[in-house]
Chains A and B, each alone.
Chain A
Amino acid sequence: MNLDFSDDQKFLQDEARKFFDKEGGLSRTRKVMDESLSHDEVLWGKVLELGWTGIRIPEEYDGLGLGHLELCVIAEEIGRALAPIPFSSSVYLFTEAIIKFGSDEVKKNILPKLVTGEVVGTYAVAEDMEAITESTLSCAVEGDYVNGVKIAVPDAELATHAVVLVKGAKGPELRLVDLNSDGVEISLQKNLDKSRAFYKVNFNHAQSSLLGDQGSGWESHVHIMDQAAVLFAFEQVGGSQQALDMAKEYAMERYAFGRQIGSYQAIKHKLADMYVAVTLAKSNCYYGAWALSSESSELPLAAATSRVSATKAFQLCAKENIQTHGGNGFTWEYDCHLFYKRSKVLSLNLGSEASWKEKLVSAIEKTNTLN
């Protein structure tokens, strides 16, 4: 039994934590919010220097050639630091799609540039205020040209390329689009978390190339979502843990009625509930990490379980962290709201909690016995 990360992976995680601390932690997140930036350019530059965008990229394409587990530990630290960088869009979604479904030529052209940052990718799914399905997909491809509108696309302004889920002649397809090409129009959309940027992308006869096979685009898309669900769940666990730590520290320092508020059971039990939620989420994420890194057929179930569990944990910890801080938690000055807002964005970016619960139950209702 070895449901744990290796010493090397733990070392990498430790280095990542120190790196974000040294770079100023949440002050980076605040700066992006306060100055209405799309991301922190300096931090992003340093992450590129560290080679983290190439963790999963094979060495023949100038990457580090490491596995998903290394990505999981980095994700947890990004989550803890609420890092305002386009890492998730470019790495968990775009890069993974290219590695999995790109032709040799596409890989040769794109992967080395993802390592250097010349190429930054994103992934475009949503079209409307509801969960997208195979039959509601409206953005379409004809010939090689994409027409339609995608919304809530992360980091699209900085991104040079996007993988776009579209309706094709034989069903959904994944399409690779150069965002600098003609017929692509990008506009910022306001969102609840100003430390991350989302955009509306208008495709008007924009040139594209097919990723993977025609007709199996929906399965490909679902697979990319499942993989990303595990990675985002690690971000959520990192964020939950940090929110819990913040609440704990405050409960030790703040006095009311002549004693530390952390000595009241009302606060203790609140924090214990947060600890329970984080622990369940973390253990489910380890299961997700195992399924992801071993390419297990259990990935859909493991991903949904990680996702639902981590979404619940982060939302609970973020809101109860505010509550523990009392009035201070409602101010701009205290950092509580950064976690609250990030927890909401992370709970939606791959589809809502309800949609992942639906995936979870769909997976277990097919089996006769659960382990």
Chain B
Amino acid sequence: MDFNDTPDQAKFRAKCKEWLDSNAQLKDTSKRANVESNLEELIAKAKVWQKKKYDAGWAMLHWPKEYGGINATPIERIIWGQEESKYDVPGSIFEIGLGMCGPVMMQYASEEQKERFLPPMAEGKEIWCQLFSEPSAGSDVAGLRSKAVKDGDEWIINGQKVWTSGAHYSDFGILVVRHDPDLEKHKGLTFFFVDMKSPGITVKPIKQITGTAGSGAGFNEVYFDDVRIPDSQRLGEIGDGWKVAITTLMNERLAVGDAKGADVNEALSLAKDKDDFGQLMIKNQAVRDKLADWFCEANGLKYTKFRTMSALSKGEAPGPEASITKIVSANKLQAIGNFGIDSGDMAGMLIDEEDGMSSFQAAWLGAPGLRIAGGTDEILKNIIAERVLGLPQDPRADKGLPFKDIPSGK
């Protein structure tokens, strides 16, 4: 039992470090990260960095060799991620493309399409997004209603997608739509990729709870108004849309979803520095009780991740333990944000004129979104109960019904 790399892993890590050292600057942890830079600048910087990585072979480690990757093991991807995150490099806007769209194209696109689309995706020239969720299909994503109607060699798409990260700067997207509402819910779906510049597509950034569209990879609504897609851009058979979508989501499994933001460290620093009730907060038993709970959660998640990495490191499939990450971390973030705000008592609600929101205020305002995105707390608990513990599914009111006959409310 130890935390050390194997000799091979240590060698790989050293290689990562060596390249990063000569191509990037280490982060200055004393400075607050600047999240305010404008979008064009952010994208331009990210593209330059991606191209640099691509030329040196670091851009899509996990892709097979034939598509320009190095077939990296999951543990090598993690090691690269750990090392890269120590450097002051632009946040990635290519993850959805490289992690989800790329693999689905490799599996379902024609040779010609792969040659055309995969290299620019890897190089960072073209950005991809994923068009799955809809206004009436969130947790129940297979309940989506956007329509595809066949017209000769083309399909005509009408409908609306929502919560599409990065749609406003994406060149292409993967899309699942309903081609036949007379079939059962999961059977009437078909999968495509689409040029985001196609006539009839309108992208509208979503004004979020913060009152802004969010920074960087913000969310969008995407409207399809008689958008024509050639049948050659269909991925998988007609009616196989759900199967293809699931493959895509499987590729997302490694993304563990640790909520970023104010953590137990920050709560501890606050409590050690700040007075409340006429004494340092850390001396208050109620504060100490909370700190202990959060530390146990944070530490438990950290070592859960280490257990997953240990399994990967040995070439074994990790257990289901990583499924707890988002539930625990998003709720913890919300609680810590709340704690930090409340420490200001009556004035806790005030936003600083110069510095803007404190990290606690930002955490409190952002956490509700994290408890929903990528699977709500409730859906994740269902998943743990059904797939990890093996409990039976809920009886479904839509089973066996043609999609058009399924009861729907708002």
Q: Are B2 and A263 in contact (CB under 8 A)?
A: no
Given A263-B395, A286-B1, A357-B292, A275 and B327 contact (CB-CB distance below 8 Å) = no
Asked if A185 is at the interface of the complex by the 8 Å CB criterion, the answer is no
B276-320 interface with A by 8 A CB criterion: 282, 288-289, 291-293, 295-304, 306-307, 309-311, 313-314
9-residue interface stretch from B113-121, B129-137, B376-384: B376-384
Q: Which of A2-10, A141-149, A175-183 contacts B (4 or more CB under 8 A)?
A: A2-10
Complex-state Cα separation, A322 to B288, whole angstroms: 30
Among the 9-residue stretches A48-56, A89-97, A113-121, A277-285, the one with 4 or more Cβ atoms under 8 Å from chain B is A277-285
Among B282, B299, B304, B324, residue most surrounded by chain A Cβ atoms (within 10 Å): B299
Q: Is the CB of B1 within 8 A of A272?
A: no
- Cβ–Cβ < 8 Å partners of B292 in chain A: 308, 357-358, 360-361
Interface of B is mostly: helix
A69-B1, A265-B382 given as contacts; is B328 within 8 A of A276 (CB)?
Answer: yes
Q: Are A280 and B324 interface neighbours, CB within 8 A?
A: yes
Q: Which of B5, B75, B304, B378 has the most CB of A within 10 A?
A: B304
A369 within 8 A of B: yes
Among candidates B282, B288, B304, B310, residue contacting A280 with C-beta atoms closer than 8 Å: B304
Nearest chain B CB to A189 CB, angstrom units = 30
Q: By the criterion CB–CB under 8 Å, are A289 and B1 in contact?
A: yes
Bound state CA distance, A98 and B84, in angstroms? 48
Query: Which A residue's beta carbon lies closest to that of B377?
Result: A269
Q: Please, which residues of chain A bring their CB within 8 A of the CB of B378?
A: 265, 269
Asked if A30 is at the interface (CB within 8 A of a chain B CB), the reply is no
CB distance from A119 to the nearest CB of B (A): 30
Nearest Cβ distance between residue A187 and chain B, in whole angstroms? 35
Residues of the A chain whose Cβ atoms lie less than 8 Å from the Cβ of B390: 248, 252
Is B238 in the interface zone, CB < 8 Å from A? no
**With A and B bound together, what is the CA distance between A181 and B382 in angstroms?**
60
Binds A, one of B51-59, B264-272, B338-346: B264-272
CA distance A294 to B307 in the complex (A): 17
A3 to B395, CA, bound (A): 40
B322 to chain A, nearest CB (A): 9
Q: Is the CB of B1 within 8 A of A276?
A: no
Residues in A whose Cβ lies below 8 Å from that of B1: 2-6, 69, 286, 289-290, 293-294
- Contact A265–B299 (Cβ < 8 Å): no
Asked if A361 and B299 make an inter-chain contact with CB atoms under 8 angstroms apart, the answer reads no
Docked Cα-Cα span, A279 to B302, in Å, equals 11
A62 interface residue per 8 A CB criterion: no
Residue of A nearest to B385 (CB): A268
Whether A108 sits at the interface, judged by CB under 8 Å, is no
The CA of A148 and the CA of B223, in the complex, are separated in Å by 81
**Which residues of chain A have C-beta atoms less than 8 A from B272's C-beta?**
365
> Which of B75, B295, B328 has the most chain A CB within a 10 Å cutoff?
B295
A 190-230 contacts with B by CB, 8 A:
none
Q: For this complex, into which size category does the number of interface residues on chain A fall?
A: 35 or more
A1 with B304: CB separation less than 8 A: no
Given A269-B378, A305-B296, are A259 and B3 neighbors across the interface (CB < 8 Å)? Answer: no
> B307 to A280, Cβ gap below 8 A?
no
- Chain B residues whose C-beta falls within 8 Å of the C-beta of A275 in the assembled complex: 324, 384-385, 388-389
Interface size class of B (residues with CB under 8 A): 35 or more
Q: Mark A1-38, 1 if CB is under 8 A from B, else 0.
A: 11111100000000000000000000000000000000
Q: A280-B296, A287-B299, A287-B303 are in contact. Are A252 and B391 (CB under 8 A)?
A: yes
**Which A residue sits closest to B381, measured CB to CB?**
A272
Give the Cβ gap from A346 to chain B, nearest Cβ, in Å.
Answer: 17
- A112 at the A/B interface (Cβ < 8 Å)? no
In the complex, per-residue mask of B351-384: 1 if CB is within 8 Å of any chain A CB, else 0: 0000000000000000000000000001011101
From B3, B302, B391, give the contact of A271 (CB < 8 A).
B391
CB-contact partner of B2 in A262, A269, A290, A361, under 8 A: A290
Residues B264 and A370 in contact, CB atoms below 8 Å apart: yes
Whether B151 sits at the interface, judged by CB under 8 Å, is no
Taking a contact as CB atoms under 8 Å apart, the answer to whether A284 and B391 are in contact is no
A301 CB to closest chain B CB (Å) equals 9
Q: Which residues from 8 to 45 on chain B have a C-beta closer than 8 Å to any C-beta of chain A?
A: 9
A1-B309, A271-B385 as given contacts; A364 in contact with B391, CB under 8 Å: no
Determine which of A2, A6, A282 lies in contact with B4 in the assembled complex, contact meaning CB atoms within 8 Å. Answer: A2
B interface residues (Cβ-Cβ under 8 A, vs A): 1-5, 9, 75, 264-265, 268, 272, 282, 288-289, 291-293, 295-304, 306-307, 309-311, 313-314, 321, 324, 327-328, 378, 380-382, 384-386, 388-395
* 9 residue pairs from A and B, CB less than 8 Å apart: A1-B3, A1-B75, A3-B3, A263-B394, A269-B382, A279-B304, A280-B297, A283-B303, A284-B299
Add 16 more A-B contacts to A1-B5, A264-B394, A360-B292 (CB < 8 A).
A1-B310, A2-B314, A3-B1, A4-B314, A5-B1, A252-B390, A252-B391, A265-B378, A279-B304, A280-B300, A289-B1, A305-B295, A308-B296, A358-B292, A361-B282, A370-B295
Taking Cβ atoms with an 8 Å cutoff, the residues of A that contact B are 1-6, 69, 244, 248, 251-252, 259-260, 262-265, 267-269, 271-273, 275-276, 279-284, 286-287, 289-290, 293-294, 305, 308-309, 312, 354, 357-358, 360-361, 364-365, 369-371
